[in-house]
Amino acid sequence: MTTLYPVQDAFVRGEISPRLHARASLDLYRAALSKCENFVTLPHGGIRKRGGTIFVGEVKNAAKTTRGIPFIFSSEQAYCLEFGDFYIRVYAYGARVGTVEIASPYAEADLFDLAYVQSADQMWISHKDYPPKVLTRTAHQTWTLEDFEFLDGPYDDINETGTTLTPAETGHLTPAMTGNTTPGGTVSNAGGVPDAYQMFDRDRVQNILIAGDSIGYIRYRNASAAQRVVDAYWITAASKATTNFDFFTAWEIQGSNDGANWVTLDTRTAETGWSNSETRFYEFTNSTAYEYHQIVFSGGGGDDATHTRCAEIAFHIKASDQTPFNLTASSIVGINGDAGFQSSDVGRAIRLLGSDGRWRWVRITSRTSPTVVKIVLHNHALPNLSPITRWRLGTFVPGKYVETGSLYEERLAFSRRFSVYASATGDFDNFALGEKDDAALEFVQAGGGQANDIVWIADSDGALLIGTSGGIRALSGSGIDEALTPSSFKNRNSRTFGCARIRPVAAGQSFLYVTRSRKSIAELVQTSVSKFTSDDIGQISEHIPKQGVVELAFQTDPDPVLWFPLENGELGGYTHQP
């Protein structure tokens, strides 16, 4: 009897699971293969031999695990980073980039737990056991890896113990002046007012005459011709500011190194409506040191433009220009689980609530004992040296560092355990919380009601996707096309699978991610605003990723293929048409 061999001209189903080999009645059977090794099925039904590979170079140590991570600046400038045992090498255009090798802190065993997010020439790298780093490309052969410093946050809860923190310095440019030349430096003003020094005496409840008319200046010259960098200041209005409205309403902050040639550092206008003893805070960008600093004011003296009055001005020495000073705790209770300050706290931030009700933050530069550390003070000078009862320790310490990251709506976001932290808009270093729309954000239970760890976060169209071991949530603004802000947010659950700690990939209008078991791959599809569903894209080929997926990479050209290395060393692939 003649044997018939039906012609098969479609292979779009690819290699199907052995569990389906006897299911000849299924329509998919006629477009499937029992084995598809070293071939790629095409979306239009055909099949082609897989592409070849090119030997670019041997890794530094072939006996150890390495990981390749893409660094893509643009479609024309792309690199491959070889992450190995305590090093990073760079490849581009089919060859290693010179002799570039960057020392890194990452051990071989931790390479595949690293998470990364890139913007232009910078890549932020995170791992729960390592302080976050930022890798920067400044030229084709110039790369640096440095600590990423969070500015002013995130923090643990406010201290509720009886422990106080007492600073040894206030961060003022001036000492607490008792005279125009004592205890140090020289205070002067335009009108020759004898008590001009009182503007720097730390008394914020007073009514000082600083000019006989509406204009003038208050100047301070550093002792011993020292030059200091100033980057912020606060002004307190006179205690009787509303009596005759004698406060000034416009001014310039200026610096000089000879007392004759002045550089304007900050300008303010229309500063009206002062209350009695009201304090206002101002910041500006400056990196230049000056011997003299002054405020040149106008618009004072009230309706009759006479007798301008004020109470206090405090110039803040930029933190990088400060000599670190002691911060002393009254006890170890409430600090690192009642263990006190540790050597690992160096670099940690602390937020301090001054007696004026204003939060400042400091960074620890060294540890002296369990109750004493040296710090530098950021933001603004403290009003005095009083013990501080309300303080917050920076939340990131060894074993509690951020684990994953993503960019979303011009914010740099990180996650740790159940929480998500996002920077201020357009200011990736700034994690200071606030009420303004562009202030930094913190969501303590972003992972939902269940105690499921966040394993990745990713930017999606209209939402920040939060992948947890229990499923995927979507964090977004509360309204349609509304930005995520401190006052506008919602966190929705979706009917999805639990996720593995493997970076998802974008594939057209959808996301592809590895499920919690690491043995299947799902597609995340948006069904409505901030609502998503998932399907297993390899259900009929479920045997292929069963060895355990290590990583994902999506290829768009010449054919759409999802590649995934497996734990046994093989490379699997799904032809996936988004």
pLDDT exceeds 90 at position 72: yes
Give strand ranges (E) for 379-529: 391-393, 404-408, 411-416, 419-422, 441-443, 454-460, 463-468, 471-476, 490-493, 505-507, 510-514, 521-528
- Asked if residue 304 has pLDDT above 90, the reply is no
Q: What is the pLDDT of residue 361?
A: 97
Q: Taking a C-beta distance cutoff of 8 angstroms, is the pair 571, 55 a contact?
A: no
Task: Give, rounded to a whole angstrom, the gap between the first and last alpha carbons of the chain.
Answer: 46
**Among all chains, which residue has been given the structure tokens 């990939």?**
505
The arithmetic mean of pLDDT across residues 107-126, rounded, is: 96
pLDDT at 529 exceeding the cut of 70? no
Number of other CB atoms surrounding residue 256 within 10 Å: 16
- pLDDT digit string, tens, across residues 551-561: 999 988 888 99
Mean confidence (pLDDT) of the chain: 92
CA distances in angstroms from 321 to 221, 290, 307, 482, 566, listed in the order given: 17, 12, 36, 41, 52
- pLDDT at residue 192, rounded to an integer: 74
pLDDT of residue 32: 84
Q: Which of 424, 425, 475, 477 has the alpha carbon at shortest distance from 445?
A: 475
* Sign for the pseudo-dihedral over CA of 432, 433, 439, 444: positive
| Residue among 301, 250, 253, 309 nearest 277 (CA) | 309
Q: Note the pLDDT of residue 531.
A: 73
Structural domains of the chain sorted by starting position, each given as residue range(s) with its CATH number in brackets: 149-154+396-537 (no CATH), 165-170+322-393 (2.40.10), 186-320 (2.60.120.260)
**Among the ranges given (11-15, 250-254, 392-396), the one the predictor scored with the smallest mean pLDDT:** 11-15
Question: Is residue 524's pLDDT more than 90?
Answer: no
Contact 502, 552 (CB under 8 A): yes
E-strand stretches of 319-358: 325-329, 349-353
Q: Please give the structure tokens belonging to residue 399.
A: 């074993």
Asked if pLDDT for residue 451 goes beyond 80, the answer is no
pLDDT of residue 401: 92
Return phi, psi of residue 191, to 5°.
-95, 5
Cα 571 from Cα 544, distance rounded (Å): 10
Percent of the chain at pLDDT > 90 equals: 70
pLDDT at 235: 97
Q: Of 110, 48, 59, 63, whose CA–CA distance to 81 is shortest? A: 59
Pairing, β 115-119 against β 122-127: antiparallel
pLDDT of residue 530: 62
Mean pLDDT of 150-177: 95
Question: Strand 250-256 relative to strand 263-268: parallel, antiparallel, unpaired?
Answer: antiparallel
- Asked if pLDDT for residue 290 goes beyond 90, the answer is yes
Q: Which amino acid is at 13?
A: R
Hey, is 253 helix, strand or coil? strand
**Does residue 482 register a pLDDT over 90?**
no
Above 90 in pLDDT, residue 491?
no
CB of 437 within 8 A of CB of 490? no
Mean pLDDT of 300-309: 84
Q: What is the pLDDT of residue 27?
A: 83
Question: Average pLDDT in the 364-384 region?
Answer: 97
Q: Where are the beta strands (DSSP E) in 120-207?
A: 122-127, 130-139, 142-147, 165-167, 186-189
Output the pLDDT for position 22: 85
Residue 332 has pLDDT above 90, yes or no: yes
Q: Which 3 state secondary structure label does DSSP give 55? A: coil
For residues 359-368, give the mean pLDDT.
97
Most confident of 157-171, 206-220, 472-486, 561-575: 157-171
The H-assigned helical ranges of 35-189 are none
pLDDT: which is higher, 510 or 424: 424
Residue 527 has pLDDT above 80, yes or no: no
Residues of 510-549 as b/e, b for ≥16 C-beta within 10 angstroms?
bbbbbbbebbbbbbbebeebbebebeebbebbbebbbbeb
Q: What is the pLDDT, as a whole number, of residue 1?
A: 61
